[in-house]
Amino acid sequence: MRHAMLAICALSAAATIVACGGGGDNGTNPPPPPPPPPPTLVHAARVTATTGLAFDPNAVSIAAGDTIYYTFQSVLHNVVFDTQNSPANVPSTESATVKRIFPTAGTYAYHCSIHPQMTGTITVTQ
């Protein structure tokens, strides 16, 4: 019994080169992706209770809901608020940072009870 010879056809080496038409610019480019959303803004300001016995800066304006970071240098200070409905006073602290949030518009005066000449004001706008 003779087996049928399978003819194996080698693919032609003549590759068909399909030239891509370069002239297809007809305004169909996809739109650019939208820009990423802006980062969440953190509203905060810093007040430093300095070794020079001052609050620096001693007047700060922020918006309601913003945070003040009180940074205490290497001298013991505190923050005693003189205004009704202020955030909690900051007990005597050194070499640390304590934050207070001001949720309500108003003008908040404060001082350091250890150094009465140290005074400051936080003005909170709506």
| DSSP one-letter code for 52 | T
Residue 115 engages Cu ion in binding (rule: CB under 5 A): yes
Give 112 or 124: the residue with its C-beta nearer to Cu ion.
112
Q: Does 118 bind Cu ion (CB under 5 A)?
A: yes
Query: Does 111 engage in binding with Cu ion (CB under 5 A)?
Result: no
Cα(40)–Cα(126) distance, rounded to whole angstroms? 19
Span interacting with Cu ion, options 56-64, 85-93, 100-108, 110-118, rule CB under 5 A: 110-118
CA–CA gap between residue 49 and residue 31 (Å, rounded): 53
The strand pair at 119-125 and 106-111 is best described as antiparallel
Nearer of residues 45 and 80 to Cu ion, judged by Cβ: 80
Binding mask 44-83 vs Cu ion (x if CB under 5 A, - otherwise)? Answer: ---------------------------------x------
Other beta carbons less than 10 A from residue 79's beta carbon: 27
Which residue among 114, 119, 121, 123 contacts Cu ion (CB under 5 A)?
114
> Measured from the CB of residue 124, what is the shortest distance to Cu ion in angstroms?
23
Strand 77-81 vs strand 106-111: parallel, antiparallel, or unpaired?
A: antiparallel
98 binds Cu ion (CB under 5 A): no
Max CA-CA distance within the chain?
A: 118
* Cis check: omega of the bond before 57, within 30 degrees of 0: yes
- Where does this chain bind Cu ion (CB under 5 A)? 77, 112, 114-115, 118
